Amino acid sequence: MHIPKIGVIDYEMGNLHSVSKALLNAGADVKILTEPFELERVDCVVLPGVGNFGDAMQRLREKNFEEKIRSWILSKKPFLGICLGLQVLFEFSEESMETKGMGIYQGSVKRFPAEANGKKMIVPAMGWNSISAKKNGILSDLDEKRFYFVHSYYAEPHNQEVIAATSNYGIEYCSALEDDSILALQFHPEKSGRDGINLLKIFIKRIGK
């Protein structure tokens, strides 16, 4: 199998060290990308992200990554989004209504309700939660496995067919997308122990064929 060269985008909004280390442990050749032109030197792009939606989009635009990422995705080249790296693929977020997202997917990013099923919800949702696989794909063998989440917002795509997995936190919500060469995860595989590494191994194996 070809060992793919995976580029992790550095836009000062992601935990690059832990993401890169997890990818290395899963068998990838990892490169940190600090300039847009460097995307041309890798086989796959990873967009991690922790923090505010508006800040993330501002950084991506200031560093001229947005259009390069959009072109990459529209060319159907392998892409992995993690946490905020999933949310910025949508049109907008309730976290920063004045800021447009990348608009790869129609839909929005919504805040968890303060109350669900008569119970007060603690937001952000933080800790381990299981996923329910919804289609035959990368996550099929990880159905009902538990992964680590830290988020106050969740994506709601208009096209339900791109939903690869859902999770439940008071409500059932989209916790992963898979579409063409895109895999985007609301949870953190790099913080999810053995199952997180196994997921990355499956992803790397797919793109290395």
Pairing of strands 29-33, 5-9: parallel
CA end-to-end distance (rounded Å), the chain: 6
- Ordered by start, the domain boundaries in the chain are 5-208
**Whole-number Å distance between alpha carbons of 119 and 145:** 25
**Whole-number Å distance between alpha carbons of 196 and 198:** 5
Which of 66, 95, 178, 190 is catalytic? The answer is: 190
Rounded average pLDDT per 10-residue block, the chain, 209 residues: 90 90 96 96 96 96 96 96 98 96 97 89 95 95 97 97 97 96 97 97 88
pLDDT at 150: 97
For the question of residue 188 being annotated catalytic, the response is yes
Residue 30, token pair as written in the block: 């990892």
pLDDT at 117: 81
Which of 83, 95, 151, 174 is catalytic? The answer is: 83
For the question of residue 38 being annotated catalytic, the response is no
For the question of residue 174 being annotated catalytic, the response is no
Right CATH for 5-208 from 1.10.10.10, 3.20.20.140, 3.40.50.880, 3.40.50.920: 3.40.50.880
pLDDT at 118: 81
